[in-house]
Structure 1
Amino acid sequence: MAHVIASADQLDFSITDLPSMPLPTEVLMVRPLHYTVDYVINPHMANQVGNVDTIEAQNEWDLVRALFDQIGLNVRLLEDHDGLPDMVFCANQSLPYIDQEGNRHALMSIMHADQRKREVPYIEQWYRQNGYEAHFLDETKIDDFEGCGDAIWHTGKRMLWGGYGYRSSLTAYESISELFDIPVIALELVDEAFYHLDTCFCVLDEKTVLIYPDAFTDEGLKLINTLFDKVIEASQYEAEELFACNACCPDGRNVIIQQGCTDVNKNLRDAGFSVHEVSTYEFLKSGGSVFCMKQMLW
């Protein structure tokens, strides 16, 4: 079923037609020992250089880690490195995958910003040491691709949602679709404050998604509304200031989300999800929250 779909009239399948994929059972987190805001590569970092409370950031990270453990995921840890303050956002450096024979793979990212390129080899080394086969995109043809920041698996299905426009190239998804033999639904991002797909789009379960609608084109919204039975919308304040859509729902039931997202959290509970609020204020200063701070694994 390998192909990239960028408009609703290209759809020739429904979600129920897709092969199943097991849910992740593990989560990789990178310690925030060197986390700071040292430069500006997205709008959220403006005026935040030097403003991180590193002790509070560690406390926030510890709580997120504890919640993943509490809901039953095996938490794997990797040390960060001096000079790589954004390595803690380990959703970005790779796209992991498990094939239908149970073999584990990881496609390594081509980071958009020069400041983050040195993160990728450390993540690659971890994958190789833990039984994953590493794959690479052709950097002579593809400018950038930032892993699960922009490439998000549909819960329980062999299909990706792929964001492009700021940190990842549309052409990357052609290679990804062919490599993993899966369809990719390509969504153009149109607001620089929502520079990654995971800042405005959170798959909750097979039928439900949380989005900030103004981050997408009309065609993108049509694709989302066609393939999900229920679309929960976040307000601009909760999406942009509190990163509501950068929540994580690893099991289709439990949602870990930045505290204070009052309207979104009510809608999540009304839809039957268990909501776990955390403080990630120190990480919001760098433009990330829960989803950015982890990588789901098999």
Structure 2
Amino acid sequence: MREATKRHYLMCRPTHFEVTYAINAWMNPDKPVDADLALAQWERVRDLYLGLGHEVSYIEPVEGLADMVFSANGATVVDDKVLIARFRHQERAPEADAYRAWFQDHGHTEVHVPVHVNEGEGDFAPAGRRILAGAGFRSEPGAHEELREFFGLPVVGLTLVDPLYYHLDTALCVLDDDLVMYYPAAFCEESRAVLRELYPDAILATREDAEAFGLNAVSDGRNVVLTETATHLMDELRSRGFVPHGVDMSELLKAGGAVKCITQEIRHR
């Protein structure tokens, strides 16, 4: 029987969400966004977390920062230590200051502003007492050493090779300390070998799962919230003793984000 552990999430209401530029392969400014539906989809995820007994905190959305709803990218938090993001694209760069201010205003005393480009939990996935770290499209490899030095934890570098899966959290999800699910084709051969060695029992996603953003999911060790169209992954999760919760993310997917992207986890000591 798998056990859920209470989590603390930081979310940002999609008040200003829209797609007016393209900084990943999923974004198309010519494709209209239904703002009301985007809000309803965000609220559905938020309500699921609350219903599962998790704590949710909120950062105030900033006008003009359309992607700030994707709070996972704002920072990485382990043991109450906060590594702020440094965004690659100028459209998102001001988000870093908003997230830094939020953490400092909420009692976090160990907050580090990085030198190297990193996009928070978009590319950094704590897994037990190690951190899986993506690079290839957004976060720089140099950020991995910065991550290791700041948190004092081993870092496993993974190289992404498919621009559809531009962040690690589009290609891999940590389910518990010892298990992940991932899409092999998103990684270079060396990284696939590393993942096979570290996680021989991993759930392997199909192309359809990955294209549905099923790996952009959030797990509390038992419950897994993911896009409802990733039906193969949901079947696999059930067979491993997890409880999947499928949700509609159609509007947020227009910006290349889903469940994990809108969920920053605050990991306490």
TM range (shorter): over 0.9
One of 163, 166, 176 as aligned partner of 2:137: 166
CA shift at 1:50, angstroms? Answer: 5.2
| Counterpart position of 2:125 | 152
CA contact (8 A) 1:207 1:230 kept: no
| Residue 227 of structure 1 pairs with residue 198 of structure 2 | yes
Q: Is the 8 A contact 1:38 1:50 kept in 2?
A: no
Assess if the C-alpha contact under 8 Å between 1:207 and 1:228 holds in 2: yes
Secondary structure in 2 matching 1:190: coil
Say which SS state the counterpart of residue 44 (structure 1) adopts: coil
Q: Which runs of 4+ in 1 moved over 2 A?
A: none
Structure 1 unaligned spans of 5+: 1-22, 99-103
Name the aligned partner's letter for residue 164 of structure 2: A
Question: What is residue 278 of structure 1 aligned with on the other side?
Answer: 247
Partner in structure 2 of residue 59 of structure 1: 40
Structure 1 residues 117-126 or 284-293, which shifts more?
A: 117-126
State the match for 1:264 in structure 2: 233
Per-residue CA deviations over 1:55-89 (Å, capped at 9, x if unaligned) read 00010000000011111111111221111000000
Identity percentage of aligned residues: 37
Could you list the per-position Cα deviations for residues 107-126 of structure 1 after superposition, in whole angstroms to 9, with x for gaps in the alignment?
11110110000111111111
Please tell me the residue identity of whatever aligns with 1:44: W
Q: Is 1:237 the counterpart of 2:208 in the alignment?
A: yes
TM-score, normalising length: structure 1: 0.85
Whether 2:95 is the aligned partner of 1:119: answer yes
Shift of 1:292: 0.3
Alignment partners' CA distance in 1, 2:199 and 2:144: 21
Counterpart secondary structure, 1:145: coil
Match of 2:25 among 43, 57, 73: 43
CA offset digits 1:213-237 (Å, max 9, x no partner): 1001111111111112421111112
1:77 aligns with 2:58: yes
| C-alpha distance in 1 between matches for 2:243 and 2:30 | 35
How many residue pairs were aligned? Answer: 262
Identify the match of residue 104 of structure 2 among 116, 119, 128.
128
Q: Confirm or deny that 1:188 pairs with 2:159.
A: yes
CA distance in 1: counterparts of 2:71 and 2:147, whole angstroms? 19
CA apart distance, 1:24? 6.5
Residue 199 (structure 1) shift: 0.2
Residues 119-141 of structure 1: per-residue CA shift (max 9 Å, x gap) = 11111111001111210222xxx
Gaps of 5+ in 2: none
**Structure 2 vs 1, CA of residues 49 and 96 (structure 1 numbering), >3 Å: closer, same or farther?**
farther
> Does the CA-based 8 Å contact 1:110-1:117 persist in structure 2?
yes
Q: Deviations over 1:226-268 (max 9, x none)?
A: 112421111112212x10110110x211000011211111011
Across the aligned residues of Structure 1 and Structure 2, the Cα RMSD in angstroms comes to: 1.2
Give the SS at the match of 1:204. strand
Per-residue CA deviations over 1:82-106 (Å, capped at 9, x if unaligned) read 11000000101211110xxxxx211
In the TM superposition, residue 166 of structure 1 has moved relative to its aligned partner by 0.4
Which amino acid letter does the alignment assign opposite residue 120 of structure 2? G
Equivalent AA in structure 2 for residue 125 of structure 1: A
Matches within 5 A, 1:87-102: 87-98=68-79
CA distance in 1, matches of 2:50, 2:99: 21
Deviation at 1:207, TM superposition (A): 2.4
Partner of 1:191, secondary structure, is coil
User: Retained in 2: the 8 A contact 1:91–1:149?
Assistant: yes
